[in-house]
Structure 1
Amino acid sequence: MPDIRYRIAPANPNAHLFHVELEIEQPDASGQSLSLPNWIPGSYLIRDFSKHLIDLQAETASGEPLPITPVEKSHWQVAPHNGPIKVQYDVYAWDLSVRGAHFDQTHAFFNGTSVFLAVDGQRDQACSVEIVPSPYSEAENWRVATTLPPENVNEHGFGLYHADDYLTLIDYPVEMGCFHLLEFEACGIPHQIAFTGKIEFHCIDKKQLLDDLTRICETELELFGQPYPIERYLFLVTVTEKDYGGLEHRDSTALICARSDLPYLNDEKRSDGYIQFLELCSHEYFHTWNVKRIQPEIYQTASLNEPVYTNQLWWFEGITSFYDAQILHRAGILERDNYLNQLAKEMTRVYRMPGRFKQSVAESSFLTWTKFYQQDENAPNAIVSYYTKGSLIALGLDLTIRAETQNAKSLDDVLLTLWREYGATGKGLQEGEIESICERASGLDLKDFFQRYLFGTEDLAFESLFAKFGIDFTLRPATNAKDTGGKTEQKSFPPQLGANLVNTEHQTVKLTHVWNEQSAGQAGLAAGDEIIALSGFKMASVQALESYLARQDIGDDIPCHYFRRDELHETVIHLYEPPCDRVLLEPALKKPDEALEWMSK
C-alpha cells in the first residue's frame, strides 16, 4: 500500500459535506506540513478552496490527538511526531460548477483541488484513494464515474483507486449519483458520457449525440495521430437550466450545459445551442493534447498556491478556440457556409470590444488572474480576451501560412511540431518558444506578425487575407443589441444605444455594459442604470425600447429618464451612426482565378 492514503465519503447531503481522511505512513518527524491548492489548473483565478475545510484534526496511529496549526490560509503544520499520523476533516461542497465541489441529495461531484490536502515534501509519491459509500448513497443506489485508475472497486465504482502522485491525483474529477451513462468508441478507444441533472433522457437524440461526438473525437485523434495519449475518456456533463462551461483534465472533462443545448428527437436540425455544446466538447477534448500535454514549463512545476504568469495562453486557449469549431467542419458536422457563419459570430465577439485597442493578447494572458477572470462592467472598454482574440490570431496565422506557402503548410504543421517535440516528450515550453516554432514549422518570418497582433493591439488584416481564399470579409452594423454577427436577412440597421440591455422585474430596462464612445455612454448613462422612459414614453422592456429606436433617425436627440440606484435622473441621448462591428463572411461573388482553397489540408 502507498504511504499516502485518502478516504472520501459523501457523508451528509443535507449539509453538503464530504468527509475526508488522510493517512500518512511516514510523516516529517519534525512536523508534517499540509496544504490545499488555491487554484485549479485550467482556471486562472485564486479561489481559496481552503475556506470550505471544516473541523481539521490530526491524531497518531493510536488515536492520540496531535495539534495542527494554521500557517496561512491554505497551509497547516502538524505537531512533530515520529510515526504514522491520520488527518481528517469535512469539506463543504456547494459550488455547482466545473471547478469545485458540489453535493446534495441528487449527486456528488468533486475536483481533487477542493478536497485532497497535499502532503508537502511528498507530493511526488504515489497515493491511494478510497471512495467510500455512505448509507445515503447506498440507499439511493449511486454509482461512481471517474477515470481514476481502479485497484479494487465494486460494481458501482466505490472502492480503492490509485494515482501516481499528487498532481496526477487532482486531475481526475469524480461524479457520484444516478447519472445517465452513454458509451461509444473513437479510433478503438472507449469513451463514456455521464449526464447528471434533471433531464428527460428518453427525449434526447442519443444516436445523433453519439454519432457527432464520435466524429469529433476521431477527427482530433487522427489529427494528432498515434500513439494516442489516452486509453479511455470520460465526459462528465452536468445539465442545468442555463449554465455553460468546461474544464479539461488528462483523460476526462467536466462540462456544464443548459438543458436546451442537448439534441432532442423532435429537432429538425442541429440547434444553435447544440452546436455550442459540441464546440464545448471539441474544445475540452482538444485540450487533451494542447494544455494537458503541450504546456508551459512553469505549469508543470506549479505549486498551485500562487498565480503563475505567462504570455502563452493565447496559444493554449486561443488556438484551441480556433480549432474547436473547425473540427466540427472537418468532421462533417458543419457545412462550409455554416462554418463560415459560425466563425463570423465568433469573430464578432472580438470586433464588438473596443478594449482590444487597449490591451494586447499577450498582456491579457499575463494578467488573466485579475483582468480576465475578474471582469467588471467596464471590461468591453478595457480588455481583450485571449480566448477570442487568440483564436483570431490563430486564424490569421493559418491564413498567412497557407497563403505564403501556397497551401503547402498550415497551422496544423505548427501544432504537430509542438506535439512531437513537446507534448509527446513531456518537455515544457519557455516564454517565446511558440513564436519561434511557428516560424520554424512554417518557414516564414513572422516576427512582425506577432509584434503587431500578439504584443500589439492592431486588428488583423482579414479583408486581404480572406480575399486570397475567395472569401469576402465585411463588417456591418447591428440589427439589435443581441445581434451576434454573421448572416442576417434584415436590410435596415436602426440606431443603437451601444449597451447591453436586460429586462428587470419592475418593468424597466437595465444597462449591464456601456460602450464608451457610443450613444448611451456619450449621454452619461452607466452600467446599472435603469431606463424608464424615452421621449416621455415608458420603456417596460428591451423589446419596447428597440421598437422605439427603430422608428427614430440617426442624429435625433432623445430625452431619457432613468434611475441610478434609487435616484431619478434625466439626460438627452444623441443617436450616433451605429458602428460596423458585426462580422460577415461569405464566398466572394467574384472569386479570383488564383484563389486558394482554405481548409483543404
Structure 2
Amino acid sequence: MVQVHLDLRDPHQHLVAVQISLQPRLACMRLALPGWTPGSYLIRDYVRQLESLVVIQDGQERPQRRLAPASWSCDCNPEGGELQISYRVLATELSVRTCHLDQQHGFLALAAVVLEVEGERWSPHALSCSLPMGWQAFVPLPQQGSRWQARHFDHLIDSPLEAGPHNELLFTVLGVSHRLVIWAGDGGDEQWLLDRHPQLLADLTAVCEACCRLMDVDQPASGHYLVILHLLDEGYGGLEHDDSTVLVFGRRNLEKPDGYRRFLQLVAHEYLHQWNVRRLRPAQLSPIDYHAPPIVPTLWFAEGVTSYLDQFLPLSAGLSDAEALLSDLGDDLSRYKLTPGRQVQCLRSSSEEAWVKLYKADAYAADSQISYYLKGAVIALCLDLHLRAAESSLMDVLRSLWRSHGRWGRGYSEDDLVATFAACAPELQQQIPVWLHGLDDPDLDRYLSGVGLALEAEMAANPYAGLRARHEGGQLVATRVVRGGPAERAGVMVGDELLAIDQRRLRQPVDLGSALAAGQQHALLICRRSQLRCLNLLADSPQVERYRLKRLPDPSAAVLQRQRAWLHQHSCAVS
C-alpha cells in the first residue's frame, strides 16, 4: 500500500507538506505529477506549485533525474527499506480544480498534490492528514481510524479534500448518506445561507432524487456522497467527481431573484454528472491519461446534455415552475444566437479543441468559437423535441446508454451515441453528424413551434457600434470589439481607453450608445499605449439585443398537449 500524508499545519505560508511512503518494486522508478484534473479540460501544469522534492531510502538521499517538466526518475533498491518521497505544494489558487490554504480553510484538488509512482497506479493508497488545532478534514473516501482508504491512485486523486473548523450537514437520498460541508469564505458565515434558505437540505434531497428519477434508478450511482460548497462573495462553478462535487457560488448571486434557482441548477448539473461523464464516460477517458490532453469529440454530449437537463431538474423536484424554465431556456438560446463564433467553429471542433480554446477564451473568443456547453445544450433541446415527436425522449436515450455502457464502465464512442439516438428515431443517423460538423443553426423555429413556443427578438434602443466597454482603474476601456462590426472597421482594439466622441467626454459605457446616430460618422478619441488617436466610427442601425422565449397564442390542442408533456413530465417520467 502507498501511504500519503499531508501536513496542512502551515496555513500562513500556504504550504502543504507531502510525504509518500512505499516499498519500492523497481530499481528505477518514475515519479510524475498529473497535469490536469478530469472534468476541467486544460493542462494546468500543477508542477508549478511543487517544490523541494527529496527521495530518501535507508537514510540516504536518492538522486532524481528530471525526465520532463512534471516527471522524474529515481534509482532505488527493491530489497532495501521503505522509500520516503517528500515535497511541498504551494496552495494559493482558489478554484474547484486547484489548491488553497489559509487560516480559514484548506482545499486540495489531489491531482495537483499527489505524485503518481510508477507501477503503483492500481495499488491501494492510504491518506492521512495533520491539521491545525480545531480543524477536521472532509474527504469522500471510506475511513479506517485516522486514515482514508483509496482503491488505487485514480480513486485517491478523484477525492477532493476540504479542511477547516467546519460543520457537517447530513441528508439522505433514497437511503444513501450525503454530507454537505460549507466554507463561507471572505469573512462570511454558513448560517447566512441556512437562515436565508432553512429548507436547503430538503431542497438538495429533492433535486438529487429528481436526478435519480431522470436516470430511472432506485439509488444514486455513488454509495456515499460529499458536497463541498465554497460560498464566496462572488463566484460560480463546479467540478464533478465519482463520489463528490465541489461547488462555488456567490452570495450576491443568491440575493438575486433567480439566484437560488441557479444554485439548485448548479447542484443538479454536478450531481447528474455522477452518471453522465463520471461512469457513463467517453471512451477517450477510459482510462484517463493525466499527462497528455486526450481529444474527446463527444464533450458536447457529456456537458451539453447535462447543461440542458439541469434546468429541468428543479422543476421536476417541485422547486421551480414552467415560466422560470422557459425564461432560463430563452436566456441560453439568446446567448447562442448572439454568439458569432457559432458560424466559425462547429460543435465537434468545439469539443475537440476544449484544451486550447474554451478554457483559454479571451476577449476575441466569441467571434471564433462556440462553447460545447452552450451549443451542446441547444442541440440537446432539438434532440429532445425531435425524439418526443417520435414518442421517445432524450431521457430514454440517456437511460439506454446508462444500461448499455455506464453500468459496466464501458466508454462510449461518437458512433455509439449516434446509434442509440437512431434506434429511437432513424433519421437522426444522418441528422446528428450534420449538426456536429456543420455551421448552420438547427431549425429552432420548427422545433419550438411544435411545442407552442417561439423566439422573439428584442431590438436595441441605440445604433450598433459592435463595441462593449467597462470601467477599469478609473478608465473606460474597450472590452469587446465584434469582428466585422463598426468599431473594428474604425480600428478600435480591445484594451483601448475610450476618451471622447464628437468632442464629448465619455465617462460611462452608456454614454457611447446614446451619442451615436445610425449611418452617421463620429469622431472617436481613444488612447492606446499612451498615444492619442482619433478614429472615424460609422454606426450601424440598431440590432437584436436579446431573444426571449414566448408561448405562441392559441396553440392547437395537440401542440398544447406536447408542450405540457415536455414541460411537466420531462424529468419525472419513468420508463
TM range (shorter): over 0.9
2:157 corresponds to which of 144, 166, 170: 170
Distance 2:8 2:295 in 1: 36
1:437 corresponds to 2:420: yes
1:237 corresponds to 2:223: no
TM-fit CA distance, 1:448 = 3.4
Match of 1:142 in 2: 135
Q: How many residues align?
A: 558
Match of 1:488 in 2: none
1:327 corresponds to which of 294, 313, 325: 313
Match of 1:540 in 2: 507
Distance 1:462 1:167 in 2: 41
TM-fit CA distance, 1:257 = 1.8
1:252 corresponds to 2:244: yes
My pick for the range that moved more, 161-170 or 579-588, is 579-588
2:392 corresponds to which of 409, 417, 420: 409
Give the direction of change, closer, same or farther, for the CA distance of 1:24–1:202 in structure 2 (3 Å limit): closer
1:577 corresponds to which of 541, 544, 554: 541
How do residues 43-82 of structure 1 correspond to structure 2 at under 5 angstroms? 43-60=40-57, 62-82=58-78
Question: Residue type matched to 1:338 in 2?
Answer: A
1:451 corresponds to 2:433: yes
Match of 1:524 in 2: 491
Question: Residue type matched to 2:208 in 1?
Answer: C
Match of 2:444 in 1: 462
Over the residues paired in the alignment, what is the CA RMSD in angstroms?
1.7
Match of 1:191 in 2: 178
Match of 1:86 in 2: 84
TM-fit CA distance, 1:581 = 5.7
Match of 1:374 in 2: 360
Question: Residue type matched to 1:531 in 2?
Answer: L
Other structure's SS at 1:100 match: coil
Distance 2:272 2:363 in 1: 31
Match of 1:511 in 2: 478
Other structure's SS at 2:399 match: helix
Question: Residue type matched to 2:76 in 1?
Answer: P
2:409 corresponds to which of 416, 426, 429: 426
1:497 corresponds to which of 458, 465, 476: 465
How do residues 300-319 of structure 1 correspond to structure 2 at under 5 angstroms? 300-319=286-305
How do residues 25-40 of structure 1 correspond to structure 2 at under 5 angstroms? 25-28=23-26, 30-40=27-37
Preserved CA contact (<8 Å) 2:498 2:527:
yes
How do residues 587-598 of structure 1 correspond to structure 2 at under 5 angstroms? 587-595=551-559, 596-597=562-563, 598=566
Question: Residue type matched to 2:451 in 1?
Answer: F
TM-fit CA distance, 1:36 = 0.7
Other structure's SS at 1:228 match: coil
Distance 2:337 2:363 in 1: 18
Segments of 5+ residues of structure 2 without an aligned counterpart are: 571-575
Match of 1:113 in 2: 111
1:201 corresponds to which of 180, 190, 193: 190
TM-fit CA distance, 1:430 = 2.2
Give the direction of change, closer, same or farther, for the CA distance of 1:540–1:94 in structure 2 (3 Å limit): same
Match of 2:573 in 1: none
Query: Deviation per CA, 1:281-330, whole angstroms, max 9, x where unpaired?
Result: 11111111111101012212122101100210000011111111121222
Question: Residue type matched to 2:203 in 1?
Answer: D
Distance 1:51 1:202 in 2: 36
TM-fit CA distance, 1:53 = 1.2
Question: Residue type matched to 1:428 in 2?
Answer: G
Distance 2:190 2:295 in 1: 43
Preserved CA contact (<8 Å) 1:310 1:431:
no
Other structure's SS at 1:78 match: strand
Preserved CA contact (<8 Å) 1:22 1:86:
yes
Distance 1:578 1:421 in 2: 51
Question: Residue type matched to 2:44 in 1?
Answer: R
Preserved CA contact (<8 Å) 1:519 1:573:
yes
Question: Residue type matched to 1:149 in 2?
Answer: P
TM-fit CA distance, 1:364 = 0.7
Question: Residue type matched to 2:243 in 1?
Answer: D
TM-fit CA distance, 1:477 = 2.7
1:213 corresponds to 2:181: no
Other structure's SS at 1:454 match: helix
Query: What percent identity do the matched residue pairs reach?
Result: 30
Distance 1:501 1:448 in 2: 43
Other structure's SS at 1:373 match: helix
Preserved CA contact (<8 Å) 1:19 1:91:
yes
Match of 1:101 in 2: 99
Distance 1:186 1:565 in 2: 58
Question: Residue type matched to 1:340 in 2?
Answer: L
Match of 2:261 in 1: 275
Distance 1:207 1:184 in 2: 14
Distance 2:169 2:510 in 1: 41
Query: Deviation per CA, 1:333-389, whole angstroms, max 9, x where unpaired?
Result: 221111111111112221111110001010011111112221122101101110000
TM-fit CA distance, 1:180 = 4.2
TM-fit CA distance, 1:458 = 1.1
Preserved CA contact (<8 Å) 2:235 2:248:
yes
Preserved CA contact (<8 Å) 2:123 2:152:
yes
Query: Deviation per CA, 1:202-228, whole angstroms, max 9, x where unpaired?
Result: 332242322332221110012211253
Preserved CA contact (<8 Å) 1:351 1:581:
no
Other structure's SS at 1:432 match: helix
Distance 1:238 1:518 in 2: 40
Task: State the TM-score, normalized to the length of structure 2.
Answer: 0.93
Distance 1:215 1:572 in 2: 57
Question: Residue type matched to 2:463 in 1?
Answer: P
